[in-house]
Amino acid sequence: MTNPLTQVTLTNGLKVLLKEIHTAPIISSWLWYRVGSKDEVPGRTGISHWVEHMQFKGTPQFPANMLDKAVSREGGSWNAFTYMDWTAYFETMPADKIDLALRLESDRMANSQFDASEVASERTVIISEREGSENEPLFLLGEAIQHAAFRIHSYHHEVIGDMADLHTMTRDDLYDHYRGYYVPNNAVMAVAGDFETEKMLARIKELFETVPAGKEPARLARSEPLQNGEVRLSVEGPGATTYAQVCYRFPAASHPDFFALSVVDSLLAGPSNLNMFSGGISNKTSRLYRALVDKELAVSVHGGAQATIDPFLYTISMTIHPKRKPEEALAALDKEIQRVHEEKVTKEEIARAIKQARALFAYGSENITNQGFWLGYAEMFANYEWFLTYLDKLSKVTVRDIQRVANEYFKPQSRVIGIYVPTDGKA
């Protein structure tokens, strides 16, 4: 993580970050666009995710039927992801084959076709994906909570979008979204691995600098007002398992309190993994695991902190024990939150929570693909300095910091509680 970083902004506004890592003959190339579900309005929800799908449908130079074959033939892997704040594409290739990835991304930045028949075919795929999610209790519960937590801000809707919009959006809607946001001045290219910086930068300029800059994309500026009291809701659906989610307001990742709250997360539920490409670690030493799972109030409990541009939510998810009621688990949760409020936290506990959070962060940052991920990901909500100083900021968190942020953010009047009530096939 100490390898030097080169940052250059091309004449068309594309920001390029390059990090040489010569531990293996591999290069991971990432292209991040500053567009996600946060940029969508009613009638167009899910459009960013759909456009991501269309980017795999080919260009005149790279027809769809050759893309997967070309990457796999060269021994590489690739994928893409749409989130609330961004859309990202990556290829991890043998070092001497990375040029294919660079050519592919520069081409589809400008030349994706959005064939009407492909749009129609993908509509069916995405609607099926949405229908599949609607069979998942935690999706249904999470969506209901998001709707309740965000009445104004566009974090209101799920990344996949609302079913009504998936049925009505047109090919031209998708293409206009692509042309409005897939411009170099709205993108960050991050490359990590076994290359020489001067040669890599020259090749990126050759391929990408000919793509013209676009207009500055429109941004929604709809701040969510303060919540005026606890919100409770229930969702009924199929299955035999009861779930509960408790969501507290969480600051943007660029906010100084994010780091102390990350330690609270580790203390309460085990550290959240901010890197979506690596696994987690056991949370059996966490307070909530001991209070809920060990005492058979819940089968499992997990916390979820996310790095976002605007304030979002910290979610505690519980799978309720079949012999217990959700109210019992919620009471035990409140007791543990109150213990933190009352400063019943030792320096040793804080040290262990920090150690676990640091270990998970380091584990999710070690390989070349993860290094490429962090180069661009941190730029989406802050900058690469955020990544480089994350561990130091965690280490400086004190018991006083823990109590302050716990009292400020973990308040009943600013949370949303959702219960999934299984119908077990009954009408």
User: Model confidence over 135-182: pLDDT tens digits?
Assistant: 999 999 999 999 999 999 999 999 999 999 999 999 999 999 999 999
Same domain assignment for residues 194 and 237:
no
Digit-coded pLDDT (tens) for 237-267: 989 999 999 999 999 999 999 999 999 999 9
Q: Are residues 190 and 261 in the same domain?
A: no
Q: Measured at the alpha carbon of residue 375, what is the angle toward residues 16 and 304, in degrees to the nearest 5?
A: 145
Q: Which domain holds residue 194?
A: 5-208
153 and 57 part of one domain: yes
**Claim to verify: residue 316 and residue 411 sit in the same structural domain:** yes
Question: 218 in a domain, yes or no?
Answer: no
Residues 204 and 265 in one domain: no
Quick one: pLDDT band at residue 1, thresholds 50, 70, 90? Answer: very low
Residues 355 and 263 in one domain: yes
For residue 323, is it within any domain?
A: yes
Q: Please report where in the chains the tokens 């998970």 appear, as a residue.
A: 360
- Residue 352 falls inside a structural domain: yes
Read off the pTM: 0.95
Query: Total structural domains in the chain?
Result: 2
Express as a percent the part of the chain with pLDDT over 90: 83
Tell me which residue of 149, 126, 146, 129 sits closest to 138, measured CA to CA.
Answer: 146
Residues 133 and 179 in one domain: yes
In Å, how far are 85, 270, 341 from 407, measured between CA atoms?
A: 28, 19, 6
Q: Is residue 132 located within the same domain as residue 268? A: no
Encode pLDDT of 301-359 as tens digits: 999 999 999 999 999 999 999 999 999 999 999 999 999 988 778 888 888 888 888 88
For residue 129, tell me if it sits in a domain.
Answer: yes
- Which among 208, 240, 256 is the end of a domain? 208
* First vs last C-alpha separation in the chain: 56
* Same domain (yes/no): 185, 283: no
Choose one of 143, 174, 208: the last residue of a domain: 208
pLDDT at position 359 is: 83
CATH code for the domain in which residue 263 is found: 3.30.830.10
Cα(107)–Cα(211) distance, integer angstroms: 9
pLDDT given at position 278: 61
168 and 308 inside one domain: no
The pLDDT tens digits of the residues spanning 37-61 come to 999 999 999 999 999 999 999 999 9
Same structural domain, 261 and 398: yes
Angle at Cα 203 formed by Cα 201 and Cα 207, nearest 5°? 115
Last residue in a domain, options 138, 173, 208: 208
Rg (CA), the chain: 23
- Centre a 10 Å sphere on the Cβ of residue 353 and count the other Cβ atoms it contains: 26
**pLDDT (0 to 100) of residue 210:** 95
- Joined together, the tokens standing for residue 225 give 């007002």
Whether 118 and 199 map to the same domain: the answer is yes
Percentage of the chain exceeding pLDDT 70: 97
φ, ψ of residue 116 in degrees (nearest 5)? -60, -40
